[in-house]
Amino acid sequence: MAVPFSNTKLRVPRGFQNLLEGLAKEVLRNQPDNIYAFAAVYFSNLLKIRENKVLIQQRLVPNMKIVSIITRPFPRIRVRKMG
């Protein structure tokens, strides 16, 4: 998908739309008071899963069963307003 901007065309990185859709769904589901803090926790959890996925794949059993941590949904998160 190209985004027109002045005389240049910017390309949205592959997977970025899916990433934002996932965040939007979780925001709608959880209705956090502070969306910015919620997004920070959400993306932090995604990074942890991605990093653990690499380690888990190195330790997979020969029949290649999917490990539950990779497919487990995020827990509901409540973030309090600061200040």
| 46, pLDDT greater than 70 | yes
Residue 15 tokens, joined? 């997977």
Locate 52 and state its tokens.
């653990």
d(CA 38, CA 80): 9
Rounded Cα–Cα distance for residues 23 and 42 (Å): 7
Under the banding of pLDDT at 50, 70 and 90, the label for residue 63 is very low
Report the pLDDT value the prediction gives residue 50, as an integer from 0 to 100. Answer: 76
Angstrom distance (rounded) from CA 69 to CA 75: 12
pLDDT band at 37 (very low <50, low <70, confident <90, very high): very high
Evaluate if residue 51 carries a pLDDT over 70.
Answer: yes
Distance between CA 83 and CA 80 in Å, rounded?
A: 10
| Distance separating alpha carbons of residues 23 and 35, to the nearest angstrom | 10
